[in-house]
Amino acid sequence: AQTVTQSQPEMSVQEAETVTLSCTYDTSESDYYLFWYKQPPSRQMILVIRQEAYKQQNATENRFSVNFQKAAKSFSLKISDSQLGDAAMYFCAYRLLQYGNKLVFGAGTILRVKS
Amino acid sequence: DVKVTQSSRYLVKRTGEKVFLECVQDMDHENMFWYRQDPGLGLRLIYFSYDVKMKEKGDIPEGYSVSREKKERFSLILESASTNQTSMYLCASAAGARIVGNTIYFGEGSWLTVV
């Protein structure tokens, strides 16, 4: 079975500090995309960052960056200079080439930001 | 901006009722999805469709069916609602049957309570 594991149900970070959210996944496929989505209290899912599995270079988007370890099947998200608006549920997900766009999600990590 | 619209944000239905959740997207996307979100379980795929009148079962299709008669509309049907179907339901859409890099767009969710 294809699975995504987020081992941290909740995390807290002080404003302006850095936090890392963990994610591991399990797939026998070699070609896929990895994603981090943010879901604020409004429940609207927002794409934070994505990584192509064939690329060795880690993706970055402003304060958000990933540490992609393909052999270990690990895909962690680092948020630098945390802001109050970063408080949300964060989901790790991957998408296989087969069937195009089927996303498999982890259970999510609630991130709390303290002022 | 791409818009995925779920017609009902909050519904309360009785056990045994037939329930329709409607989703419409305005970007001519081929792929559409229905997910269910529950605490501690993340998002789980119920059904998806990669073309009009085409549908595929996801990970938890039991108790649900879908309809896609027009490209822009994807309906989730609960033939006989049960209390264990109380949940939040998320619709999503994406372009391209085989282009996994395409962004998936989500609706705002439909909260369903079955009493």
pLDDT attached to residue A77: 98
Residue A101 confidence class, pLDDT cut points 50, 70, 90: low
In chain A, what residues touch B3 (CB-CB under 8 Å)? none
Share above pLDDT 90 across residues of chain A, in percent, rounded to a whole number: 74
Q: Is the dihedral of CA B95, B97, B102, B107 positive or negative?
A: positive
Please check the confidence at residue A28 and state whether its pLDDT lies above 60.
yes
Q: Does the beta-carbon distance from B98 to A100 stay under 8 Å?
A: yes
Over range A8-22, report the average pLDDT.
98
Q: Does the beta-carbon distance from B108 to A96 stay under 8 Å?
A: no
Residue B2 confidence class, pLDDT cut points 50, 70, 90: low
Give one DSSP letter per residue of A21-63, joined into a string: E--EEE-S-S-EEEEEEEE-TT---EEEEEEETT--SPPEETT
Give one DSSP letter per residue of B7-64, joined into a string: S-SEEEE-TT--EEEEEEESS--SEEEEEEEETTTEEEEEEEESSTT--EE-S--TT-
Interface contact B54, partner A, CB < 8 A? no
pLDDT attached to residue B74: 97
Over range A9-14, report the average pLDDT.
97
pLDDT attached to residue A52: 87
Closest Cα to residue A75, out of A97, A96, A52? A52
Closest Cα to residue B2, out of B111, B94, B74? B94
Please check the confidence at residue B96 and state whether its pLDDT lies above 70.
no
Whole-number Å distance between alpha carbons of A84 and A63? 13
Please check the confidence at residue A99 and state whether its pLDDT lies above 60.
no
Interface contact A41, partner B, CB < 8 A? no
Over range A14-22, report the average pLDDT.
98
